[in-house]
Structure 1
Amino acid sequence: MGERLEVIGTATVPWLPPTHDFRPHLTGLAERAERHGFTGLLVFYDHVVLDPWTVAGLLLQHTSTLVPLVALQPYALPPFTAAKTISSLTSLYRRRVDLNVITGAAPEELDQVGDPLDHDGRYARAAEYVAVLHRLLSSDEPLTWNGEHYRFRGLRVNAELPEHLRPRIFVPGSSKANRVLVDQVGHVTITHPEPVDRFAESFAAARGDRGLEMGIRVGLVARPTAEEAWAAALDGHRVNRAARLRTLLKRESESDWNRRLATLAAEADVHDDVYWTGLYSTGRTAAPLLVGSYDRVAEYLRRYVALGVTKLLLTRVDTEADFHHARAVLARVDT
């Protein structure tokens, strides 16, 4: 994919009964991603999907270079358990496991587990969590820690990893609390971007020159011509009144990027003739899609790259045809 832009896909799991055998789908997806030059796959966490660590192990088992990007929610497991799991997977497969540190954008899930922290409090906890995790992965010396959220006395988990195998920390979000977390413990800052000119004035401008890498998460619907691309994007697409209402309500979300994307969707479905909020409006994805000809989508992506984007997280790239179309765009971005 070239040296300028690292491309990471998404390990999507179909909404099927837990008795379904997910292995053929996930292993096939991982093999396709690796063959097409993707460096990793994002593995989700929420209360209803497969356990991301188990999925990460499956991806490692069936590939030779792919790096799982595992969503890590601090309330879901203690930092010493995370350290032991990361160290175990890395030691077994001699490959890095990267982390996508999430703090919770679904109020119902926070309520289910009785998490009392507010938005900024969850980000502060995440910063301390990652700091503890870093200590456990960088030294086998017993850890004594007396923080606001975690307290340990002589903790030893034997999880030390060499520096080149320690996880990169991806931090999704765009709020002020998010920026503080990224500055303290992050390596890569990620967002669902606005149209490129707004992105330049908001997210990219706020990041400035902080020595951090910057990434965006989008979907691509690209074809040789714009007409073919829009026909594919709109195939079966319906936005009813209930979906429009849900989108309007998201403008009051605690999540900064949910508010921004909901505002964009309320303004118009399409921006710049290529940036599409349609699937966000129907709840089928949390990210915008770039729709158009290979050349047009590549040109739009190059504008993000020119603003400093070095990581591209792609959603809804699953089938061989999806990877073929994505490669056609990415080859043009790298030229």
Structure 2
Amino acid sequence: MTLTFHWFLPTYGDSRQVVGGGHGTPAGAAGGDRPATLGYLTQIARAAEDLGFVGALTPTGAWCEDAWLTTAMLAQTTERLKFLVAFRPGSVSPTLGAQMAATFQRHSGGRLLLNVVTGGESHEQRAYGDFLDKDARYARTGEFLHIVRELWAGRTVDLTGEHLRVEGARLSRVPDPVPEVYFGGSSPAAGEVAARYSDVYLTWGEPPAAVAEKIGWIRALADKEGRRVRFGIRLHVIARDTAAQAWAEAERLLAGFDPAAVAAVQAGLARSESEGQRRMLALHGGSTADLEISPNLWAGIGLVRGGAGTALVGSHTEVADRIAEYHALGIDEFVLSGHPHVEEAYWFGEGVLPVLRSRGLWTHPLDATPGARDTAPAEIPFAGRP
């Protein structure tokens, strides 16, 4: 199996610095020198599409634009790129969620991937009218996904669950293809839901040994359910022609961190209910010392934003080596981002992807379609002619 790469749409704004935001961040906390206009997000999406990324993750939360509406608009400005839409099950009824996904598939030509986010912060959930505690939210997510998958299969659903109830639920038109479900979470409750309902289990970027442990955990749970789950990882990336150039860029980003902002962000994230966020914080402990927590794995991003807080940093070959290392553990999909997102997409797409192609680990999505990509060099008129 060749590797699949997805990029990221910063629907909260972008910058040459690391923009705050992410998991557990309050509304208004994000921003940047480049507003998240449709025009700018289209630039990122088209770059990712041309470079060979399969999809683009779009976040959810009070700190960013709505993922459903934004990607529905961007689907009209792109041709092939899929949209990994982050979606919280507690926001709408399962029947409406299943219908929304089916409609998106029809109008986009089958370009929806669904990233189900249970919601790790009770204070943020309450702002949306959701007053369940964390374990109850995971139980509700399981009921939600059960109903949605039954509807997508064309069945009529009657269910009275602990948290959800539907009667005579049915879709007039099922999605084709059925969207793949991406799901993450590090708590026991998250693992149970992932094993039963996810197609791809996503982990935030941790050192290889920790990632291997997570993969083994989810595989064992999925085996009990008689299911097979694929695995993906969410990382930032800083790839350059040389390792020295890449680490100089990491140091430049680090130098732009305001110590007061770091302290405020870390204090806020320390109150997080998310087990995944706790694991991210443990990688750096709020300190700027020893941020290379594993070869080419840098924990600096997590000092100023929540959620995925690590980056692969190094030469194109070194980053390719680390990707191959994660792949050997069982990771087949990589959800990447960089600051700013247009430029870093090109650094990775033109630097790292050719290395992986040369090793037989990646092919451009268009390579499977004869004539889809004309890579022959242009001929200069009259050049070399007498």
So what's the TM-score if we normalise by structure 2?
A: 0.78
Does residue 262 (structure 1) correspond to residue 281 (structure 2)? The answer is yes
1:61-76 matches, within 5 Å, as: 61-76=76-91
Does residue 184 (structure 1) correspond to residue 161 (structure 2)? The answer is no
1:214-233 matches, within 5 Å, as: 214-233=231-250
Q: By how many angstroms is 1:149 displaced?
A: 1.6
Tell me if structure 2 keeps the 8 A contact 1:243–1:282. yes
Q: By how many angstroms is 1:96 displaced?
A: 3.7
- Report which structure shows greater RCO (CA 8 Å, sep ≥6): 2
- Residues 319, 116 of structure 1: alpha-carbon distance in 2 compared, 3 angstrom cutoff: closer
Tell me if structure 2 keeps the 8 A contact 1:7–1:314. yes
Q: By how many angstroms is 1:284 displaced?
A: 7.0
Aligned-partner Cα distance in 1 for 2:209–2:166: 47
- Residue of structure 2 equivalent to 1:7: 5
Please tell me whether Structure 1 or Structure 2 has the larger radius of gyration of its CA atoms.
2
Aligned-partner Cα distance in 1 for 2:300–2:103: 41
Q: By how many angstroms is 1:114 displaced?
A: 4.2
Gaps of 5+ in 1: none
Does residue 296 (structure 1) correspond to residue 318 (structure 2)? The answer is yes
Tell me if structure 2 keeps the 8 A contact 1:69–1:98. yes
Does residue 169 (structure 1) correspond to residue 181 (structure 2)? The answer is yes
- Residues 320, 193 of structure 1: alpha-carbon distance in 2 compared, 3 angstrom cutoff: closer
Q: By how many angstroms is 1:94 displaced?
A: 2.2
Does residue 198 (structure 1) correspond to residue 196 (structure 2)? The answer is no
Aligned-partner Cα distance in 2 for 1:271–1:73: 31
Which range is displaced more, 127-136 or 33-42?
127-136
Tell me if structure 2 keeps the 8 A contact 1:10–1:317. no
**Which deviations, in whole Å up to 9, do the C-alpha atoms of 1:38-72 show, x marking residues without a partner?**
11111111124222111121222122221111111
Aligned-partner Cα distance in 2 for 1:260–1:278: 14
Alignment match of 1:39 (pick from 37, 54, 71): 54
* Aligned residue type for 2:7: G
- Residue of structure 1 equivalent to 2:352: 329
- Residue of structure 1 equivalent to 2:259: 240
* Aligned residue type for 2:219: G
**Which deviations, in whole Å up to 9, do the C-alpha atoms of 1:249-275 show, x marking residues without a partner?**
745632111111111111731123411
So what's the TM-score if we normalise by structure 1?
A: 0.89
* Aligned residue type for 2:102: S
* Aligned residue type for 1:148: E
* Aligned residue type for 1:74: P
* Aligned residue type for 2:326: Y
Gaps of 5+ in 2: 14-29, 223-227, 360-386
- Residue of structure 1 equivalent to 2:157: 143
Aligned-partner Cα distance in 2 for 1:279–1:21: 20
Identical positions, percent: 28
* Aligned residue type for 2:251: L
